[in-house]
Each structure stands twice: as C-alpha cells, then as structure tokens.
Chains A and B, each alone.
Chain A
Amino acid sequence: MTNLLQTILVLVLVLNLFALGTSRILSLIRTVALQGALLGLLPLLLHGQHSLATVLTVGPTLALKGLAIPYMMVRAMRDVKIKREVEPLVGFQPSVILGALATVFALLFAGQLPLAAAHVDTLIVPTAIATVLTGFILLTTRFKALTQVVGYLVLENGIFIFGMLLVEAMPLVVELGVLLDLFVAIFVICIIVNQINRAFSSLDTRHLVSLKE
C-alpha cells in the first residue's frame, strides 16, 4: 500500500514538472486532469479501512477533478480558439529547472519539519509543498487567462494533498464544500475567460491592467 502511495506521489511530482514544461494548453489541461484524478485516489490508499466517508470523497473528487473541470476548460479553450501559451515571463526550460529546484527545496524543507511520526516516511508533505510552489510558478510566470486557471488548479491540488494529512480530523462536509467551491470558481472563470477574450480580443491578462484605477 505504501509503495503504491509513494508511486502516485512521485507521479504527481513528475506531472508538476511536465506542466511547467509544456506550452500547449490542451496538454496542460490534460496533465492537471490526470494529476487531479491521481489525487482523487489518495484517500483510498492512505487509510487502511475504507469507511463510507472516504468512498464518498473519492467519487466526487475523481468526477470533478478528472472529468468535469477539464471538460469545462477544454470547451472554454475551443471557444476562444487559443492553443498555446506564448511568451511566458520565464521560458519553459527555465520553468522546469525552477520547478525542480522547488521540489528539491520542498524535500529538504520537509525533512526539517517536526512532523507526526506517521507522516515522516511518506512523500506527502514534500509533494504538497512542491505542488503549491509549482502552482505559484505557473501563476506568476504565465500570462494567458487559461494558464492562470491551470495554475490555480495546481495550487489547489497541493492544498488537497496537504489536506490528506487531516482526512480523519476534517469532516466530510468541509472536503465536499471545498470541491464545490472549486467547481463553481472554475465555472465562473471559464465564463470570464470568454468575456476577457471578447473585451480585449486576447486572453493576455496583462491587458487587465487597464482596469486599474
């Protein structure tokens, strides 16, 4: 069981780097969908006994992160007819290197943290931190509105992994509430993406500066 868990977490780390390295938005969305689906399986692996609560979390998580959200984003992408992120602030290879540095930092950092005995040997905490940092790198270096959304999703995935540590302490309602929030947020952003495209004839979020007072 632990082996499988570690494997999935390593896969998540690799997907982080892949997300940083790709310029095609479609593959970016697919990467995040795969990452989300893998994360959806985590509760099953993390805890020996499968209570009703864990099963109830897994279903919606898989459906939302793996299917519904990517579907909405792909549709938004088709609507605005955009395929690639061009001219990011930091190029794709440097981004991958940055991501790798962030992963190394996360691994070193987690080693220094005073963690509970049960979590010391797993990769959960370093993966969570690395994923959050990856989300931030995407958010700060990419300019297209859709890539920004992907950045938020990666960031949220990181927080989700962290939440796995607390899955016994956190009520089911909170978990599902977070998922619902995420769904609604992405739904709204996909509509806004369309509006930005219509107003500025571009998805470049730098144009939004003109809205500043």
Chain B
Amino acid sequence: MFLDLILLAILLAAVSGLPGLVMPRSSVWGERIAAACMAVAAVAGLAGVVGGLRGAGGAACGFPWPAAGNGVVGLDALSAFFLAPILLVGGIGPLYGLGYWPQRIHRRNGRKLRLFWGLLVAGMALLVIGRHAMSFLLGWEIMALSAFFLVATEDERKESRRASWIYLVATHVSTLTLFGLFALWRSATGSYLLEPVSPETLRLGTRHLLFLLALIAFGIKAGMMPLHFWLPGAHASAPCHVSAILSGVVLKMGIYGLVRWLALLPVPPAAWGSIVLALGVVSGLLGVVYAIGQHDIKRLLAYHSVENIGIILMGLGIALLGRSTGHVGWVVLGMGGCLLHVWNHSLFKSLLFLAAGAVVHGAHTRQIDRLGGLARGMPWSAAGFLVGAVAICGLPPLNGFVSELFIYLGLFHAALAGSAMAMVGVPVLAAIGALAVACFVKVYGTAFLGVARTPAAAHAREAPVTMRMPLLILAACCAVIGLAPVLVAPALDASTRCWMAGVAPGTPAIRGLAPLGGIGALGAALVAGLAAAAVLGRRRHAARRARPAITWDCGYARPSPRMQYTATSLAQMIVGLFAPVLRPHVQHPRVDGLFPAPVAAHSHVDDAVLDRMLLPMGRRLANSFGWFRRFQRGLTQNYMLYILIMLLVLLGTLLPIRAMVERWLAR
C-alpha cells in the first residue's frame, strides 16, 4: 500500500511537465500545474516514506515490462530513507522555480526545465526502489539524462554547454562501469535480482572486483574526490534550484548505490572500510580547501558538496570497519552519521543553493567579490543562508552538528580500538569543520555584511514569497533535526537494521550510543543564550546611537565601496597554506613609472583533476590521433572503399586456406 503511494508519486512527477508542453509559451498555467503536481507527489510520496520507515512497505511487486527486464520494485527502510530527500527537495523546487525561473521571463527553456525536473525526480525515486538490475539502471539513466538536460538549461551559453558535456562524459563512464558491475553480479550469482547472497556464492576475488566497480561507478555520481571533476562546473552553471537538487539529492544517489551494494555483499574485508574512510578523508579535506579558493558562490558551494560527501563516506567507512570486525556499535554510529548526514546535507545544501539563487536573482552576479551588504536588502535570504552556513559548518544547535557528532563518536570508538585510519580521521574531521567555518565566514561576511560593492548589489531586492517559502521549510527542517534529534532516531535505527539485515539482525538503537537528549538540551540552551544576548545587545545598541562614518580612507581622494577586504584577501592565508595542492594562479599587477596605466590583479584556482589532468591528457590523446583524420575525408567513395576492403578481408577468412596450402604442397 505504501509502495503504491510511492509509485503514484513517481507517476505524478514524471508527467508533471507534460501539461506545460501542450500549452502556449506565454501561459503561466504550465508552471503552476507542474508545481502543484510535484507538491502533491511529494506529499503522497512522503506519506509512503513514513510507512516504509516503519517497515510497512509491503512485498516487492513485479514491474511487468519486458524492456525493463520485468524488474522488481520494493520499499524497505533504506529505500524509504533515501526517498525522503528526493521527494522533499523535488517537491519544493518547482515552487521556488515559480519565482526564480518564471515562464514569462524564461520562455525559451522554462518548459524544458520543468519537464526534466519531474523526470529527474521520477528517475531517482525509481532507482531507489528498484530491486532488479534493470529497474535500477532504468531509473539511473532517466536520472542521468534528465540531469544532463537540466544542467544544459541555458544551452545558449557556452559555459553551460561545456559543463553539461563534461557531466555527460562522467555519467556515461559511471553507467558503463555499472554495466560491468551488474554483468559480473549476474555471472557470479546467476540472477539480476538485487538481493543479499550467501557468502559461499562469491569468491573473494569476485567480491573485491564488485566492490571496486561499485566504488568507481557510484563514486563518480557521488563526486568522490578524484572522480569529482564534473561536479563544480555542472553545479555552477545550472539554474540554482537545479544545483540544489543536483547537489542535495543526485549526489546522494551515488551514496545510496554504494550503501545498497555493500549491504548486498557478504561481510567485507577490513581493507574496504579503510579505503572508504581514506577516500572520505581526502574528499572532505580537499573539498573544503578547494572551496576556500573559489570566487563564484555556486562553485564554492559545489566544492562543499565534495567535502560533505567526504564526511558521509567517513561515516560509511566506520560502519564498514565495524561490519567486518564485528563491532556493532561502530556500525550504528557510523551508519547513523552517514545516513543522517545524507539527510542533513540535502537539507542545508539545498537551503544554501536556494539562498544563493535568491542572491543571484537579486544582484545578478555569482561573484562573491561583487556583492556585499545584502543582509539589509534581502533579510530573509540572508537569514536562510546563515542557517545553512551554520548547519554546514557542523555547529550546534543545527543538524550538521548531530550527524558529525555521530561520526566523531564512531571514529573515537574505532581509534580507541586501534584503527589507524580512524586515528587520522578524527583530526581531519576537526580540520574540515574549522576550514568550513573559515570559508563560510568569508562568504557570509563578504556577500551579506559590510557595504555593497557594486550598484547591482546595493539595489538587490528581497526574493518573492514563492522563493522564501522553500527557504523557510528547509531551515525549519534543519532546526528540528538539530534541536530534537530524537525524532529522527527511529528512522536511522530502521535503516541501519535494514543495512545489517544480512549480517547481524537486531542491532542496538542509536539512542543508547549517542547522547541524543543531551544534544537537544545543548541546542536549546544555546538558542536561549543567543536570543538573550541578542536582546541585550540590541538594548545597549539602542541606548548608544552609533554615528555612521567611513571606516578607513587612508588618504585616498575618493574611496569607493570596492575598497574593502575582498573574499580573496580573507581566504589568502589559507589558500597560501595549501598552495602546494591548490596551486593558485595569481597575476600580480605591475605598477611602473610616475603615472602608471590602469592595471588589474587576478587570481583563480583550477580544478586539480579536470584542468590539470583530464583536459591536458585528452588534448594530448586527440593530437596523437591527428594522423587518423586523413582516413576521414568526408568522401563517400573513400568510405565505400573501406567497406570493400573489409568485405574482401572477411571473404578471405571464408577460404579454407590451410586445405589450399596442403593441396598446393602435395602437388
């Protein structure tokens, strides 16, 4: 019954963009119908999710379609857990789109965007409930291709086209690896069904290969560090609510795949846990370091996705270590942290992207150094961004703190038991948190505080109510999880139990291992303290009227608002610290003579994998195949000649050559 609700939601989501296609471009009803459809789908689906988390998902049901391999779909706690962010963000996105990407302004691509939004949500939901390789792959490809069209929404811009092609290449590599994975699974187990198998059926080598393929395929989708190269460009050039769902939800499908796949495999060797943990450490640290070097607010947020995927992987790594060494407590804490961070990241990253969208909508730029003082003009968006920033930094009293605390606890347990990787993990997680705080101080301070640096930023207006509502919903979710983590504990327990079902039925509850009540109390106390301090501060501020003046004019004749600390200067120290990794390109201005000409300074940070490895390698490969072009002249006669040669060669293989030679020799 609850599975039916999910299927209904998938159907509604898939068709939500269709009415808009048959309506004229000037009509506003297409977008309204799409938003309503998606909202209904989200409500129906979330009701199904609640049922699924309670274990009432019902039996898996057949999917009577031969093209999809007569695949099977089913709803268990793990599926339900990942369905929640899909439906929540998928449901509120079109509402945000009403204000952010209205049909009357974006006539050319508004309808396309809504169609593929619905398909993206439907594809992800299908892949999460798929219990058969074919239904899984069907959902996966629908998701991957709709995401491609969404990234290419503004296909008239060169930057968008480039980002979407890079994304397409990455996602195809991922799908190809998945083909290999499923083929291997089929040959090892004899079935395409995604069900746990007994340890005897899989040899150790096969298991290692399955794990490696899964790690690559899902790692590309999740944006794990060496495979993240498609992510910053795609997230930066898509419309902001698309970036929100890409970063908040689509990346999580990679995590879902990895989690689901590890549940299918028998008890893992301890090395797998260490590998996942190490990848998490690398992704987390490098993600946040690269984020600090960015000037574009959306690119910066995109690199923070890499960082958070790293944190999620660290949780998964702890859980895997626990699973292979038999420490159920590690599994509960690691999996709890991993899964809760999946929810949390989808909430606060969507919140941040939507707030960034409000900024782009108001100030018409994504460059942090061209913003400033936005908190005055757009208080709601500023508040939303602040909530998201505090949450992503893992500070109490918001949700990021809770999940990171679980992972810390898991790491402590593992480190005390002597796991070397976990000992590295603890300080790295702490460093990630500190660097994230530095990064968001830079963004928030530069963009929302101070004086507006450009006229556009000075005239930025608050976003319409359809854009503020989603911000409010997401911020409220962040606060609820942060202040009352007890509420999400049952969902975490059910999903962890589902993940451990094949290994150890009856895992303990997370409530016994982490001080959930204490976290709530701490958060509440912190909120109360902050509120009291704010009230006191305002009273004192009201008593002493401050006189506004220029802070620092240093003898300049005409100081302009651009003469403030820039985001780049705030980040300079940390970028310098990590210069060996980041290798920032800095172009210093040269000022010569008595009356120097105007000069410009410029700095940017390239992506290590894409700009320094893949693109040069691709260029070299293309150059080394330059000689091949002479075979591709565009002349049909030449191509017919190739066919003729091929035909003659094939005919030649028909000849009984050996018999002929023997006959000839006998003569």
List A133-154 residues whose CB lies under 8 Å from chain B.
Answer: 133, 136, 139-143, 148, 151
B-side contacts of A113, CB under 8 Å:
654-655
In the assembly, what is the distance between CA of A205 and CA of B656, in Å? 39
Q: Which residue of B lies closest to A152 (CB)?
A: B640
A112-B656, A136-B644 known; A208+B637 contact, CB < 8 A: no
A-side contacts of B655, CB under 8 Å:
109, 112-113
A-side contacts of B632, CB under 8 Å:
212
Answer yes or no: B636 CB below 8 A from chain A CBs: yes
In the assembly, what is the distance between CA of A206 and CA of B637, in Å? 9
Check A136 against B637 for contact (C-beta < 8 Å).
Answer: no
B-side contacts of A151, CB under 8 Å:
640
Check A209 against B634 for contact (C-beta < 8 Å).
Answer: yes
Q: Which residue of A lies closest to B657 (CB)?
A: A112
* Chain B 616-654 interface 0/1 with A at a Cβ cutoff of 8 Å (1 = within): 000000000000000011111110110110010001001
Q: Which residue of B lies closest to A142 (CB)?
A: B637
Q: Which residue of B lies closest to A148 (CB)?
A: B636
Answer yes or no: B660 CB below 8 A from chain A CBs: yes
B-side contacts of A114, CB under 8 Å:
656
Check A205 against B640 for contact (C-beta < 8 Å).
Answer: no
Check B635 against A209 for contact (C-beta < 8 Å).
Answer: yes
In the assembly, what is the distance between CA of A53 and CA of B655, in Å? 34
A-side contacts of B634, CB under 8 Å:
208-209, 211-212
> Which of B637, B651, B660 contacts A205, CB < 8 Å?
B637
In the assembly, what is the distance between CA of A109 and CA of B657, in Å? 11
Q: Which residue of A lies closest to B659 (CB)?
A: A112
In the assembly, what is the distance between CA of A132 and CA of B651, in Å? 12
In the assembly, what is the distance between CA of A211 and CA of B633, in Å? 11
B-side contacts of A129, CB under 8 Å:
651
For the complex, count residues of A whose C-beta is within 8 A of B: 22
Check A141 against B637 for contact (C-beta < 8 Å).
Answer: yes
Check B633 against A139 for contact (C-beta < 8 Å).
Answer: no
Answer yes or no: A185 CB below 8 A from chain B CBs: no
Check A136 against B654 for contact (C-beta < 8 Å).
Answer: no
> Which of B635, B641, B644, B660 contacts A206, CB < 8 Å?
B635
In the assembly, what is the distance between CA of A132 and CA of B632, in Å? 24
In angstroms, how far is the closest chain A Cβ from the Cβ of B625? Answer: 15
Check B647 against A136 for contact (C-beta < 8 Å).
Answer: yes
The secondary-structure label for the interface of chain A is helix
Check B656 against A136 for contact (C-beta < 8 Å).
Answer: no
Check A143 against B654 for contact (C-beta < 8 Å).
Answer: no
Check B640 against A140 for contact (C-beta < 8 Å).
Answer: yes
In angstroms, how far is the closest chain A Cβ from the Cβ of B663? Answer: 10
Check B660 against A140 for contact (C-beta < 8 Å).
Answer: no
Q: Which residue of B lies closest to A89 (CB)?
A: B637
In angstroms, how far is the closest chain B Cβ from the Cβ of A149? Answer: 12
B-side contacts of A205, CB under 8 Å:
635-637
Check A143 against B643 for contact (C-beta < 8 Å).
Answer: no
In the assembly, what is the distance between CA of A148 and CA of B635, in Å? 12
In the assembly, what is the distance between CA of A129 and CA of B651, in Å? 10
Check A140 against B644 for contact (C-beta < 8 Å).
Answer: yes
Check A208 against B654 for contact (C-beta < 8 Å).
Answer: no
A-side contacts of B637, CB under 8 Å:
89, 139-143, 205
In the assembly, what is the distance between CA of A113 and CA of B657, in Å? 11
> Which of B636, B638, B643 contacts A136, CB < 8 Å?
B643
* Chain A 104-119 interface 0/1 with B at a Cβ cutoff of 8 Å (1 = within): 0000010011100000
Q: Which residue of B lies closest to A114 (CB)?
A: B656
In angstroms, how far is the closest chain B Cβ from the Cβ of A203? Answer: 13
Check B640 against A139 for contact (C-beta < 8 Å).
Answer: yes
A-side contacts of B640, CB under 8 Å:
136, 139-140, 151
B-side contacts of A133, CB under 8 Å:
644
In the assembly, what is the distance between CA of A112 and CA of B652, in Å? 11
In the assembly, what is the distance between CA of A205 and CA of B640, in Å? 13
In the assembly, what is the distance between CA of A206 and CA of B655, in Å? 36
In the assembly, what is the distance between CA of A142 and CA of B655, in Å? 30
In the assembly, what is the distance between CA of A168 and CA of B38, in Å? 58
Q: Which residue of B lies closest to A137 (CB)?
A: B644
In angstroms, how far is the closest chain A Cβ from the Cβ of B629? Answer: 10
B-side contacts of A148, CB under 8 Å:
636
B-side contacts of A206, CB under 8 Å:
635
In the assembly, what is the distance between CA of A178 and CA of B640, in Å? 21
In angstroms, how far is the closest chain B Cβ from the Cβ of A207? Answer: 10
In the assembly, what is the distance between CA of A143 and CA of B635, in Å? 10
List A60-92 residues whose CB lies under 8 Å from chain B.
Answer: 89
Most central of A142, A151, A206 by chain B CB within 10 Å:
A206
Q: Which residue of B lies closest to A210 (CB)?
A: B634
Check A140 against B641 for contact (C-beta < 8 Å).
Answer: yes
* Chain B 524-535 interface 0/1 with A at a Cβ cutoff of 8 Å (1 = within): 000000000000
> Which of A112, A132, A208 contacts B636, CB < 8 Å?
A208
Q: Which residue of B lies closest to A139 (CB)?
A: B640
7 A–B contacts from the bound complex (CB under 8 Å): A136-B640, A139-B636, A140-B641, A140-B644, A148-B636, A208-B634, A212-B634
- Please name 12 further chain A to chain B contacts, defined as beta carbons within 8 Å, in addition to the given A136-B641, A139-B637, A209-B634, sorted by A numbering: A89-B637, A113-B654, A113-B655, A129-B651, A132-B647, A133-B644, A139-B636, A140-B638, A140-B640, A151-B640, A212-B632, A212-B634
**Interface residues, chain B, with chain A CB atoms under 8 Å away:** 632-638, 640-641, 643-644, 647, 651, 654-656, 660
Q: Which 3 A-B pairs have the closest CB atoms?
A: A212-B634, A139-B640, A209-B634
